[in-house]
């Protein structure tokens, strides 16, 4: 037996230390430098939107970005990026699909015969597919991978946190009163997994009046800044309710969406602070 380096991802020995390490192998021919999980405590807050915008901005800055769509029962990433083809592969690996601007994508909808086919699987099977997306896909020299997580703290988030080398978590939320409880769940789960929370993005924060430009707080006064302060994490961005953005995403044009509101967060991720 060779000397232990304590890096189980590059070792094939079955020692006692490995029993405590649940990380999945990355394909030997693949390369992923940084993994950022985008999470939310509840559904419908725009997590996939933020994931797509972050990947698009990284790609725009000259990095190789990728999105691993871990929301197996509600995948929306391929449609947002305008990908209508199926993923291909060999007996040894799967190949990610590429967006028009080069972002690498893997999602269950790229493997289904029809993108409207429901995924009626139990939790362990779904979690296994997510692990395969990490291990079996030939990710090509990825600088930043963003994992679009399903909402909540169930099987898939647990699998991602245990199986993938997640460098940090970004929490997406909305302005409602429940935000404190929802953020607390995400923060506490990340803490249990010893994964740092990089910050919070508040979506649907306001609606800008087309006539006077006033920011209307449709869901009431935001509590997100206060909650971020309470948990000691940064509140990086407030994204508006914008029909133009919704139309562009529905048309598969997320890479053309204005991502300037996320510049501070992308700078933070880029610098690895």
pLDDT in tens, 133-150: 999 999 999 999 999 998
CA–CA distance, 14 with 247 (Å, rounded to integer): 51
30 — pLDDT class (breaks 50, 70, 90): very high
Determine the average pLDDT of the residues in 217-233: 86
Phi and psi at 238, nearest 5°, equal -120, 115
Contact 254, 81 (CB under 8 A): yes
Percent above pLDDT 90 for the chain: 57
Instruction: Tell me: pLDDT of 8 over 80.
Output: no
- Which pLDDT value is given to residue 117? 80
Phi and psi at 207, nearest 5°, equal -120, 120
1 — pLDDT class (breaks 50, 70, 90): very low
Tokens of 206: 């306001």
Determine the average pLDDT of the residues in 37-61: 93
CA–CA distance, 246 with 242 (Å, rounded to integer): 7
- Which pLDDT value is given to residue 21? 65
**Would you call 259 helix, strand, or coil by DSSP?**
coil
Determine the average pLDDT of the residues in 115-129: 83
**Would you call 137 helix, strand, or coil by DSSP?**
strand
- Which pLDDT value is given to residue 116? 78
- Which pLDDT value is given to residue 144? 98
Contact 66, 146 (CB under 8 A): yes
Strand ranges in the chain using DSSP code E only, listed in sequence order = 32-39, 65-69, 88-89, 94-95, 97-98, 104-106, 142-148, 168-173, 197-202, 207-208, 215-216, 235-238
- Which pLDDT value is given to residue 20? 55
Among 45-49, 62-66, 224-228, the minimum mean pLDDT is found in 224-228
- Which pLDDT value is given to residue 208? 87
Among 64-73, 111-120, 162-171, the minimum mean pLDDT is found in 111-120
- Which pLDDT value is given to residue 151? 82
**Would you call 254 helix, strand, or coil by DSSP?**
helix
Task: Compare 176 and 111 and report the one with higher pLDDT.
Answer: 111
Instruction: Tell me: pLDDT of 184 over 90.
Output: no
Instruction: Tell me: pLDDT of 7 over 60.
Output: no
Tokens of 80: 């947002």
- Which pLDDT value is given to residue 18? 44
- Which pLDDT value is given to residue 81? 97
Q: Is 98 exposed, middle or buried (0-12, 13-18, 19+ CB in 10 A)?
A: middle
The secondary structure element, H or E, covering residue 229 is: helix 224-231
Question: Is the pTM of the predicted complex or chain greater than 0.85?
Answer: yes
Among 14-23, 45-54, 262-271, the minimum mean pLDDT is found in 14-23
Contact 85, 106 (CB under 8 A): no
């Amino acid at each position: 037996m060779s000397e232990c380096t304590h890096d189980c991802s590059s070792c094939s020995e079955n020692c006692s230390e490995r029993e405590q390490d649940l990380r999945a192998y990355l394909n030997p021919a693949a390369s992923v430098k940084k993994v950022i999980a985008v999470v939310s405590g509840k559904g419908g807050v725009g997590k996939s939107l933020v994931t797509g915008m972050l990947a698009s901005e990284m790609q725009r800055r000259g990095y190789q970005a990728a999105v691993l769509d871990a929301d197996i029962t509600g995948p929306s990433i391929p449609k947002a990026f305008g990908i209508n083809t199926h993923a291909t592969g060999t007996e040894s690996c799967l190949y990610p699909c590429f967006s028009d601007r080069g972002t690498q994508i893997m999602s269950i909808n790229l493997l289904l015969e029809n993108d409207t086919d429901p995924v009626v699987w139990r939790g362990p099977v779904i979690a296994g597919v997510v692990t395969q997306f990490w291990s079996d896909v030939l990710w090509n020299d990825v600088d930043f991978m963003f994992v679009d997580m399903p909402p909540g703290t169930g099987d898939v988030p647990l699998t991602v946190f245990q199986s993938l080398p997640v460098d940090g978590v970004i929490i997406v939320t909305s302005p409602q009163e429940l935000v404190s409880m929802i953020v607390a769940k995400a923060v506490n789960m990340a803490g249990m997994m010893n994964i740092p929370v990089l910050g919070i993005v508040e979506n649907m924060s306001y609606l800008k009046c087309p006539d006077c430009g006033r920011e209307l707080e449709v869901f009431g006064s935001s509590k997100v800044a206060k909650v971020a302060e309470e948990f000691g994490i940064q509140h990086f961005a407030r994204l508006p309710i914008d029909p133009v953005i919704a139309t562009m995403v529905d048309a598969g044009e997320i890479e053309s969406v204005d991502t300037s509101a996320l510049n501070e967060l992308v700078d933070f991720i880029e610098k690895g602070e």
